[in-house]
Amino acid sequence: MSSKTQDRIATGIMWLAGLVILGILAAFLIYMLYKGLPVLTWDFITGMPSDIRAGGGVGPQLFNSFYILFLSLFFSIPVAVGAGIYLAEYAGNNRLTDLIRLSTESLATVPSIVLGLFGMIIFVNKLGLGFSIIGGALTLTLLNLPLLVRVTEESIRTVPAHYREASLALGATKWQTIYRVVLPNALPGIVTGITLTAGRALGETAILIFTAGTTVSRQLPDFDITAAGETLAVHMWYVMAIGLV
């Protein structure tokens, strides 16, 4: 068998694998739209939930989901990007940086339910925040940091070295080079990491059950960060757990 034939076969297999994956995703999407669109109404999206009978809306839960997500990203992005810049541009290869990388990667392996228990002990009990939106957002920040730090560091490292050399040769300082040359070129990778982190945080349940609670405000929207903030994912778990469907 010639090398060209082998290349065509391998290319065909890769295309087939990709089409199978896309087909499965499309089937899931079509099935959900087929089942969901007939019962999806504006009253359901903006209405209040029902605690004692089937039905009700998901307005507060939907709002809380994006509100907690926004707060968690607001806390985690500056810290993660700063840590990624330090590790990629300033830190040398020594025991301290090895310890930092080991710590962030170890944090990424912690189960979300363990982070939820940690958040309940520290934020809910010790700091007296109770079951609240801010408690859930701070705990989600711990979930977001490892991935964001790693993605930021790797995105910055992929920027070609001659970009930095050209900027420094023109008289720019190291920070000006990072701010005006490195970060703009690393931005697509950083945005991809933020998107993946947001998707994971948006569907999180274990952490928020222990920190944000399973109740909602009767006002919509309610921007009080000390109020309990059940999210849509937690609400879906709750109604399935008690059979309220």
What pLDDT, on the 0 to 100 scale, is given for residue 18?
92
Mapping DSSP to helix (H, G, I), strand (E, B) and coil, where does residue 104 land? helix
Which parts of 37-56 fold into alpha helices (H)?
Answer: 42-46
Give the least confident one: 53-62, 71-80, 164-173: 53-62
Q: Is the pTM of this model over 0.85?
A: no
* Cα gap 188→115, rounded to integer Å: 29
Mean pLDDT (whole number) for 210-239:
83
What pLDDT, on the 0 to 100 scale, is given for residue 71?
93
DSSP state of 14: H
- pLDDT tens column, 72-84: 999 999 999 998 8
Position 245 pLDDT exceeds 60:
no
* Cα gap 119→126, rounded to integer Å: 10
Q: How many CB atoms lie within 10 A of CB 15?
A: 10
The angle subtended at Cα 227 by Cα 121 and Cα 54, nearest 5°, is 100
Position 2 pLDDT exceeds 80:
no
Tokens standing for residue 70: 């926004």
State the average pLDDT for the chain. 86
Which parts of the chain fold into alpha helices (H)?
Answer: 3-36, 42-46, 59-85, 95-108, 112-119, 133-157, 161-169, 174-177, 183-202, 206-211, 232-241
- pLDDT tens column, 93-135: 778 888 888 888 888 888 888 988 999 999 989 888 888 899 9
What pLDDT, on the 0 to 100 scale, is given for residue 51?
67
Mapping DSSP to helix (H, G, I), strand (E, B) and coil, where does residue 183 land? helix
Task: Round to the nearest angstrom and report the end-to-end CA distance of the chain.
Answer: 59
- pLDDT tens column, 174-217: 888 888 889 899 999 999 989 988 888 888 888 988 998 888 87
Within its chain, how far is the Cα of 13 from the centroid? 32
Mean pLDDT (whole number) for 41-57:
75
